[in-house]
A and B are shown apart, each in its own frame.
Chain A
Amino acid sequence: MASGRADEAMSPLDLIGGGGALKIGAIGIKGVLGGAGKFAIEKGETTLVKDLIATHGLDKSRAASRKLFEDISKNGIQDPIKYAIKDGEKFVVDGHHRLDAAKRLGFDSVPTQKVELPFAGYKSATDLEPHFTLDWMK
């Protein structure tokens, strides 16, 4: 299962190449919200980071991860992390790198959007068959 890989990834210091930028980013976001905890953005639904369960490993390279980390440290998370609920637990279906960056930046909560399964047009194995055929013929 790939969900454990987030814990094996680099530390924030590795990602950003030093503690200075991390500190500036985290304090900046905290300051915007009056210092009552670290949040990624102010509006919309938010979920505690600890309540979100990853369903996928991380696949960005070291360099690409660093870019995303730097952006989130400066601008927060702009696009909500999408999750589905199963047996009362929140499983992330889109936004694993954003979640990983939020954890490393010490965010308590992140902007989220609940989605229903199937989300955004899942196809069953049977449904996939015609698409194989049609695309192959194009």
Chain B
Amino acid sequence: MATWQFGIWFVGKGYEKENQFPTRNCNLSDLNLSDSSIAQFVFEMPKEKSWDEDLEIRGSMDGNRVDILYEKGIVAEIAARIDIRNIKIKFVIQIVDFAIQNRLSIVEASTGEQIEVDFDSLLSAIMRSPEYKFVVNPEIFLTQIAEHRKKLRMI
């Protein structure tokens, strides 16, 4: 995970945020997602080398990326990472379209919070994110982390 990637998960409509991260209920295996819909979603994203035979990685490791995790040949989880360094609006739209087509919800991966399934809400979530703050000014972002760490040490 790169600091400039904004991560989301696709989850079922019954998703509820759990208290303990990263224990999350993002399993999609009961939903029987259509293969054609997934294929269309990742059509333009080349396959990357994966570290596990059950994990299909599309796109680029530190750029725009889609991870598809299989359990016994069935799609169990789908996550996406949006490269905030150079936001591809087309990819953001594809994420929203995929969610709508499959009646899925979108969850911000680092917080577990749901994002409304529309383009403006997803873009707003990106703009509010630490990932975006990092990209806009990495120097300030890192300074703030350093200051936060100093405060913690003083407590």
Contact = CB atoms under 8 A, between A and B. Distances in A.
B103 interface: no
Given A61-B9, A128-B87, A120 B62 contact: yes
Interface residues of B, number: 51
B22 A61 contact: yes
B9 to A, nearest CB: 7
Q: Which secondary structure dominates chain B's binding surface?
A: mixed
Contacts of A112: none
Contact of A2 (B9, B54, B130, B149): B130
Contact of B77 (A63, A68, A82): A63
Contacts of B9: 61
Interface centre among B130, B135, B145 (most CB of A within 10 A): B145
Contact of B138 (A1, A97, A122): A122
A8 B19 CA distance: 11
Given A118-B138, A121-B86, A123-B85, A55 B110 contact: no
Interface string A69-113: 011000100010010101101011111110000000000000000
A59 B90 contact: no
Nearest to A65: B22
A93 B20 CA distance: 24
B135 A135 contact: no
A50 interface: no
Q: Which secondary structure dominates chain A's binding surface?
A: mixed
B1 interface: yes
A107 B71 CA distance: 29
B108 to A, nearest CB: 9
A14 B110 CA distance: 19
Contact of B87 (A75, A94, A132): A132
Interface of B: 1-4, 7, 9, 20-24, 26-27, 51-52, 54-55, 61-62, 67, 69, 71, 76-77, 79, 81, 85-90, 109-111, 130-131, 134-139, 141-146, 148-149
**Which 3 A-B pairs rank lowest in CB-CB distance, beginning with the nearest?**
A59-B109, A59-B7, A94-B2
